[in-house]
Each structure stands twice: as C-alpha cells, then as structure tokens.
Amino acid sequence: MRIDGKDAFINRLGRWSDPVAVAKAHAISAQIWSDYQQGTFDCSLMAYQPLINGKEVGLLEALRVRAETKRQAAAIHAYRLLQRYDKPIRNRSDAEGFLAWLRAEGLSDCTIAGLMTHYRQCSGGNRHLFSHKLKWRRRSVQSDVLSVEEIQLVLADLMEKESWYFPLFLLWLSTGMRNAEIRGLTWDCIRWEEGEVLVMKSLRRDGYSSGQVEWAPTKTGKERVVPLTNEVLETMGQHKQQMKRLEIYDPYGLVFVTPTSHSNIYDHLVGRVWHRSLHRCGLKPRRLYAQRQSFLSHALAMGNSPADLAAAAGHSTKMLLDTYPKPTGRLKMPTWACAAAAELVNQKDPLDFNCQETHEDVLVIARCCSLSRYR
C-alpha cells in the first residue's frame, strides 16, 4: 500500500491463487480503512501485521534489536517480559491486560512506568497503547545534593580511610562525569598542560553478562572537555606516581582500577566505598549519581553560565536547567544598604549645582519654562 506517496509493506500473506491469503488481505484492508475513517490509523503498520504463532513479531523484534544494541539491563528486562507474556497487544484492552499481568508479577508502578518507556519507543504509531497514567511517589532527587560541608567531610574521610579511592571521588565531585565515563577514563585523556580532561568514551557493563564490560561512546555520542582545578590536577599527579611505584601505570590504560586485582572498577564496588564513607560521616545514604547531581547544582548556584555548564556536562541547556538546579544552601540574599543610601541623600545639597545630576535637572527645568512662554 502507499502512505503519503511512499510504498509501505505489511507482510507476505501468500499467493493470489490462495483464497485464504486473499481473504486475509481483504480483512487487513478493511481494518486499515476502518481505522483511517475513525482517525486511529497506525502509520507504522505494526498494528496490521499478522501474528506468527500468536505473537506480535513486530514489537518483539524491535525490542530485541533495542536490547542487543543498548545491552542495558532495563532494555533487556523489557524485552524478556514481553517475550514471557506470550500474548499479542493489538488494542487498548490487550494493553490493559498486559498491565494487569505486570502488576500480578509483583512489579511496582514505578518499574512499570520505566518499562512502558521502552514499549512506547518500539511500538511506532501504537505508542498510545502504552500511555498509561500510573501513580507512584516520585523519589526526590533534592536529597541527592550534598552541601559544601558534607562534601568536605566525605572527602576528608576518604583521604584518611580510603586513600586509594580518594582521587576517584575528588575527580567525580569536581567534574560531574557520568558513572561509565569515570570507569572508562584513561590517562591519555587528561591534558596536564591545559588543565582539563577529555571525555570521549565510557566503559559500559554488558546487560547480558554482568561480568563483562565493553567500550562505548558517551551517552550523547559526543566528545566534551571539562576543566580541572589545581587541587584535582595535583591529586591526579600523586595518583599517577603511586601507580608507577606499583608498576601498574599505562599511558593509555585506565586511571582507576581495583586495589588488589588492578582490573576495571565497577559500580557495586565503588558504591560500597561510597556508602561506607557516608556511614562513617553520619550522613544518610545517597546514590552514586549524587556526585554528578551535587557538582552541577553547586556549579549553577555559583553563577556559572548554563550554556558553558551544559557543554561540560554533556547536556542541552534545557535539559540541564530542567533536571539539575537543586537547592544547595548557597542562596545569596539581596541587601539594599538602606543606612548608606540615607547618609548619601543627607550629604547631597539640593542647591549645589556643581553636581552633574543637579545641573542636568536645572537645564531640563529651564527648557520647559522657555517652551511654556511660547504657548
């Protein structure tokens, strides 16, 4: 069939000499015409593809490709759940049945909302089937932002108790890099003379095999440069010398490795170190993502340009301002200096025409008087 002047293919049903195949084609055509008249026509044609063994192959195939491409646990989970459901989802009632099945599996509405995102992105024109209004208590990310005093307390604790990981968390809290970008940072990406770090790749965990990692581009697929403070550069230099003494330094190798096996770090390991430090400091538990959340919130509160900060964070300016401006305790209240202003007014003599402002006022008054005479 033709859609907007372009040929579109649904599926091969059979030969023209086969009356059953012709009947199927007539039924699909009737359904397409009915949906078009009712304004519910699916331009992706996924809703009209015949089922194979009772399964909707189009959506399953799209989810499979997404899972194998991203290799993320959430995408793989969404694909395997739909595969296990083993029923077609062609209309709203089918979608409601799928939602009830997910809840019967013990999944919370918060988890289901994340799954629906994957289903919507893979369902083409049938996105409306997975647009359920789920109610759950959203987690407040405001609590993820550490104050300046809390950051100093944690870093001091790490320097004393977990010295091997101190450079990692100092760099993390000073640049706001993503988890995978920190894991995949290599020594050749640190520009010592320019005082900056080049963020160009990440070390991504394989969702199909938790013990495997693979190199990948950044989340946005773009490179970016993040400035480094003198404190961070000095600490990274000391970390480099320590790795040289241990004979594990590689100019093109990973910056952060485990202290025993000297292999790549992973979130579970770093998370244990992070939570141990928070516990010792008497602070409530926070996610690892609190490093990025705290850095960007404090950098915005300090008055940095949102455009410059968005470029350093690897976000658009709109995304940065919509997501990361959280309270940091850096609020600066305006002061009007009323006493100083009153003293200045009292010192000014209204008859002193040597003042530039008073002289201009007199000229304006004289001009107005001369105009009134002509009237």
Q: Could you tell me the end-to-end alpha-carbon distance of the chain, in angstroms, rounded to an integer?
A: 82
Q: What are phi and psi of 194, to 5 degrees?
A: -80, -15
Secondary structure E strands in 38-139: none
| 333 part of a folded domain | no
pLDDT of residue 374: 42
- Alpha carbons within 13 A on the beta-carbon side of 265: 26
Q: What is the pLDDT along the chain (375 residues), one digit of tens a residue?
A: 666 666 666 666 667 778 777 777 777 778 777 877 777 776 656 666 655 455 555 788 888 888 888 888 888 999 999 999 988 887 788 889 999 999 999 998 888 988 998 988 887 667 777 887 777 555 554 568 899 999 999 999 999 999 999 999 999 999 999 999 999 999 999 999 999 999 999 998 887 776 788 888 998 889 999 999 999 999 999 999 999 999 999 999 999 999 999 999 998 999 999 999 999 999 999 989 889 999 999 999 888 999 999 999 998 888 888 887 777 777 667 767 666 666 766 665 555 544 444 444 444 444 444 444 444
| 136 part of a folded domain | no
Same-domain status, 252 and 303: yes
Same-domain status, 230 and 311: yes
For 71, residues 6+ apart whose C-beta sits below 8 A from its C-beta are 204, 206, 207, 208, 214
Same-domain status, 265 and 342: no
- pTM for this entry: 0.67
The CATH number of whichever domain residue 257 belongs to comes to: 1.10.443.10
| 135 part of a folded domain | no
Neighbours of 144 (CB within 10 A): 18
How many domains does the structure of the chain reveal?
3
Q: Three-state SS across 151-171? A: HHHHHHHHHHHCCCCHHHHHH
Structural domain harbouring 283: 142-323
Neighbours of 46 (CB within 10 A): 20
**AA letter at 58:** G
pLDDT of residue 210: 67
pLDDT of residue 9: 60
Same-domain status, 159 and 305: yes
pLDDT of residue 349: 55
| 35 part of a folded domain | yes
Same-domain status, 50 and 90: yes
Same-domain status, 165 and 111: no
The residue among 130, 161, 180 that closes a domain is 130
Q: Give the separation between CA 250 and CA 264, rounded to whole angstroms.
A: 13
pLDDT of residue 359: 46
pLDDT of residue 52: 45
> Residue 94 CA to chain centroid, in angstroms?
32
| 146 part of a folded domain | yes
Q: Give the separation between CA 297 and CA 327, rounded to whole angstroms.
A: 7
Radius of gyration over every alpha carbon of the chain, rounded to an integer in angstroms: 31
